[in-house]
Amino acid sequence: MSRRIQSRFHLLRQQGRKALIPFVTAGDPNPEVTLPLMQALVAAGADIIELGVPFSDPMADGPIIQRASERALQHRVNLRLVLDMVREFRRTDDSTPVVLMGYLNPIEIMGHETFANQAAAAGVDGILVVDSPPEEGTKLLEALNRYGIAHIFLIAPTTSDERIAWICTKASGFVYYVSIKGVTGATHLDLGPVAEKLATIRGFTDLPLGVGFGIKDAATAAAVAAIADAVIVGSAIVKRIEDLATSPAEIPTRIGDFVTELRQAMDTTTLVDP
């Protein structure tokens, strides 16, 4: 279990608040934006930063985040450079957890042990590998455990109870519930079935439950905060970055303003006992 992730959720529980986890793609729209953007996210009220590792075939991501990866890859942003970005972030922030979200291929190329070692040294707290299910990720999971890095798994609306139980035995940090069928950036979020599924998952784990996919604005973030431990916002942020790509100097401030709106809306939601 990551010390930073565990400490952050403990603090939030004491405060009666829910975690806000914004997602951005490292290196989008250029590498110089990422560090000041991460700092702006924290200043705006982010509790954990989910940092996307650009990949050429992001199968779980919709077109908005796919284009973000393409923009970053044009600047040759790779896994090693992303770790450098986290290392630089840690020079001024040793408390905000950073979770990398990406795909298995770059980790396989680096090697499980080398990746886990270098990620821990850089200050990474967790990793979400979309195409590495728990049945096939034993070596990676073992390496991450040795270095105290949380392995965060996805659970989908279609995941069976039996498989939820299995995933929860392997997960650490928090569990990421995908609130809708399909890829990131989908449009419709029905909170009734989400609440029912979260109740099911809580029967298998004491880990915090985060909800992502389909959260587009402050009102939706607040509604999700009423039923989950963490609200994860990706495409809505990345689309705003895309719209500002020709004015990169404005991105930290403008994205910070949006995250502040999310934070303020969520803070109107009181803690709900599981």
3-state class (DSSP) for residue 185:
coil
The 10s digit of each residue's pLDDT in 196-252 is: 999 999 999 999 999 999 899 999 999 999 999 999 999 999 999 999 999 999 999
Which of 97, 85, 58, 20 has its CA nearest to residue 261? 20
Gap between the Cα atoms of 215 and 186, Å rounded = 9
Beta bridge partners of 25: 52
- Which helix (H) or strand (E) segment holds residue 32: the answer is helix 31-44
pLDDT at residue 1, as a whole number: 61
Instruction: Give the pLDDT confidence of 79-135 residue by residue, as tens digits.
Output: 999 999 999 999 999 999 999 999 999 999 999 999 999 999 999 999 999 988 888
Section 174-182 average pLDDT = 84
61 is catalytic: yes
Q: Kindly indicate the confidence band of residue 140, based on its pLDDT and cuts at 50, 70 and 90.
A: very high
Return the closest-CA partner of residue 132 out of 174, 103, 168: 103
Strand order in the sheet with 98-102: 150-151, 126-129, 98-102, 49-52, 19-25, 230-233, 209-212, 175-178, 154-155
pTM of the model: 0.94
Both tokens of 111, joined, read: 């090697």
Is residue 77 scored above 70 in pLDDT? yes
What pLDDT sits at residue 136?
A: 81
**Over the stretch 23-69, which tens digit does the pLDDT of each residue have?**
999 999 999 999 999 999 999 999 999 999 999 887 778 899 999 99
Secondary structure (DSSP) of 35-62:
HHHHHHHHHHT-SSEEEE---S--TTS-
Q: Tokens in use for 100?
A: 């990398």
Half-sphere exposure of 227 (CA within 13 A, CB side): 20
CA-angle at 76, arms to 22 and 99, nearest 5°: 25
Active-site residue, from 28, 61, 125, 229? 61
Q: Which domains does the chain have, with CATH numbers?
A: 3-266 (3.20.20.70)
